[in-house]
């Protein structure tokens, strides 16, 4: 069985971090090829028409998208220390919400990086509104026990990676909800794989 996975990505991406943590928890070694460098960027262009990270090579096949890579890892190796999905459909909704919040905040970050004077654009406003709505909904999911500090699984890990990236890039203000998410953060920060993959760059 495969022991090392080649992973194209960066040390800042929240999607790449998720994959790195899951791989570490399942005992799969990761050979991270940085797409911040020219060689990694060229390889990404060569293997993926989408051009987004992460992309992984698993048993000789290139897989795009963190969700698919994680699906492959957990299908072949189980969940390890991560709590397995409690309800597949609830988890899918949580992950889709977290991914949509990330997509909106990534757009805000890319927009600001390209042109600093764009914060008032209706497009930027819509992304902030979507992120606000989603984070409020995620706060409710904590209150209702769908997101749990007691047994963190993929949705909790995805949330932590999203929050850390947002803070790292100052892409959006989540302060109003940080206390709600603090127990999940504290639980996951006990994992060496989570600490070792904090965004840096």
Ligand X SMILES: N[C@@H](CCC(=O)N[C@@H](CS)C(=O)NCC(=O)O)C(=O)O
Q: Three-class SS of residue 4? A: strand
- Binding positions for ligand X, rule: CB under 6 A: 13-15, 51-54, 65-67, 106
Cβ at position 144, least distance to ligand X in Å: 25
Cβ at position 16, least distance to ligand X in Å: 7
End-to-end alpha-carbon separation of the chain, Å? 32
CA angle, residues 46, 154, 33, in degrees to nearest 5 = 25
Q: Smallest Cα–Cα separation from 78: which of 165, 153, 155, 184?
A: 153
User: Residue 10: what are its φ and ψ, rounded to 5°?
Assistant: -125, 170
Q: Which is closer to ligand X, CB of 71 or CB of 140?
A: 71
Q: Which is closer to ligand X, CB of 51 or CB of 192?
A: 51
Q: Which is closer to ligand X, CB of 66 or CB of 193?
A: 66
Cβ at position 125, least distance to ligand X in Å: 20
Cβ at position 110, least distance to ligand X in Å: 7
Q: Three-class SS of residue 82? A: coil
Peptide bond preceding 54 in cis form (omega within 30 of 0) = yes
Q: Which is closer to ligand X, CB of 37 or CB of 51?
A: 51
């Amino acid at each position: 069985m495969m022991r090392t996975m080649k992973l194209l990505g960066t040390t800042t991406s929240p999607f790449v971090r998720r994959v790195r943590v899951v791989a570490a928890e399942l005992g799969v070694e990761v050979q991270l090829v940085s797409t911040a460098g020219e060689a990694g960027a060229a390889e990404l262009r060569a293997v993926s028409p989408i051009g987004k990270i992460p992309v992984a090579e698993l048993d000789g096949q290139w897989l795009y998208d963190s969700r698919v890579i994680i699906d492959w890892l957990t299908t072949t190796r189980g969940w390890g220390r991560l709590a397995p999905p409690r309800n597949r459909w609830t988890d899918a909704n949580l992950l889709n919400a977290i991914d949509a919040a990330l997509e909106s905040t990534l757009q805000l970050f890319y927009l600001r990086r390209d042109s600093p004077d764009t914060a008032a654009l209706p497009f930027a406003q819509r992304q902030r509104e979507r992120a606000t709505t989603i984070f409020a909904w995620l706060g409710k999911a904590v209150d209702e026990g769908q997101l749990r500090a007691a047994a963190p699984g993929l949705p909790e890990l995805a949330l932590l990676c999203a929050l850390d990236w947002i803070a790292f890039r100052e892409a959006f203000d989540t302060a109003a909800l940080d206390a709600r998410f603090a127990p999940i953060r504290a639980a996951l920060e006990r994992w060496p794989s989570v600490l070792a993959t904090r965004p840096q760059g």
